[in-house]
């Protein structure tokens, strides 16, 4: 049976001359087109005789089960600050000078290199020759 239609995503009752109408889809059509309750079909009908109609199209709609997303806190990185900002204790750069050409965030490099005993020299091309 078909008694509703979609218009701009809104379900509305099928009406003919202002009166609600239901198309009773026969078993032969239902079996032939493998129709199940709730499926969406297009129906062609004669305006002068509403008993003359047929299903002309069955819309294949992949219905997937709605999965409620987890709260945003579930997706956040759960590593603590102490794990991510691990301080290396080494003297590999002791007494060495490191040259950084271009780039942004010079202060981050400067701190990291100083923690390892080195000295940062930065050049970005704006220095006087």
Query: How much is the pLDDT for 86?
Result: 60
pLDDT > 90 fraction of the chain, expressed in percent and rounded:
0
Tell me, yes or no, if the pTM score tops 0.75: no
What is the dihedral sign for C-alpha 11, 16, 22, 23?
negative
Domain boundaries, the chain: 4-58, 89-129
Read off the DSSP letter of residue 23: B
Q: For the chain, what percentages of helix, strand and coil (3-state, to nearest 5) are there?
A: 20, 30, 50
Is the pLDDT at 80 greater than 70? The verdict is: no
**SS3 assignment, position 63:** coil
């Amino acid at each position: 049976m078909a008694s509703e239609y979609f218009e701009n995503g809104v379900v509305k009752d099928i009406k003919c001359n202002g009166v609600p109408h239901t198309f009773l889809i026969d078993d032969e059509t239902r079996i032939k087109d493998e129709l199940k309750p709730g499926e969406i079909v297009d129906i062609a009908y004669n305006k002068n005789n509403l008993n003359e109609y047929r299903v002309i199209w069955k819309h294949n709609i992949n219905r997937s089960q709605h999965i409620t997303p987890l709260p945003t806190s579930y997706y956040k990185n759960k590593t603590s600050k102490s794990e991510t900002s691990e301080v290396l204790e080494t003297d590999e750069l002791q007494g060495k000078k490191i040259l950084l050409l271009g780039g942004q965030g010079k202060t981050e490099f400067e701190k990291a290199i100083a923690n390892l005993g080195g000295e940062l020299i930065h050049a970005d091309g704006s220095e006087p020759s």
